[in-house]
Copies of this chain bind each other. A is one copy, B any other.
């Protein structure tokens, strides 16, 4: 059975940690996210999932961006928020994360992470979109009511103010589409999307601009907690990346091929 294990899901919350320290809006950031955006996301997961998770954080300014082999080897689900410094992420780290996903690690790509190296590599497309930052109200509607990620949230989730992300969103067609967002301006966005890549699961969730306190919103915290549960690999996953198999001998060797009984 795909039964629950008693071991907690090991989550690493990765943050770019740039806006928190830039001059552009450091006062606002300090007010909204005194522990950083990654700190808020991590706290929300721990609050909702309790003993079901073991959460750590890692940030881009750390050596190897905080994503050493050791850290990834102990990560079941990685969350990724980046925005201003995507280009400065080391390709070797991206390779490492990519391989870990293909081997079974779940990954949650958040908001402006749509343009991260790891997401565009997993998708194979530009992941471009339309946007406008005008404090639109965002409504997040569920189109997969039976999906684990949509459990326990209202229809719609109401986010009073958010940056607008709109279509066309240049992504492969999602394996499962969970949420659609609308904005006061009339735009629409596929805001909650699932894919499988290799043995790993990928969830993109768009709410969460740094200028708004979205990660304190109880329904958003619920979605992220649900998504961690969904993206977690099956118990016993060995995180081996799919590889070429030299297959010998034939499976049917020695078996009869005849017209058989009828």
A172 interface contact, C-beta 8 A: yes
Give complex CA distance A49, B52 in Å: 21
Which of A16-24, A59-67, A78-86, A250-258 contacts the other chain? A250-258
Chain B residue, CB-CB nearest to A49: B1
A124 touches B121 (CB 8 A): yes
Known: A129-B244, A151-B234, A180-B167. A185 touches B146 (CB 8 A): no
What is the size category of the interface that chain A forms with chain B? 35 or more
**What 0/1 readout, one digit per residue, does chain A (215-253) give for beta carbons within 8 Å of chain B?**
000000000011011100110110001111111111111
Main DSSP-derived SS at the A contact region: loop
How far, in Å, is A233 (CB) from chain B's closest CB? Answer: 7
**Residues of B with C-beta under 8 A to A229:** 1-3
Q: CA A114 – CA B151 in complex, angstroms?
A: 26
CA distance A143 to B180 in the complex (A): 12
Contacts of A135 in B (CB 8 A): 260-261
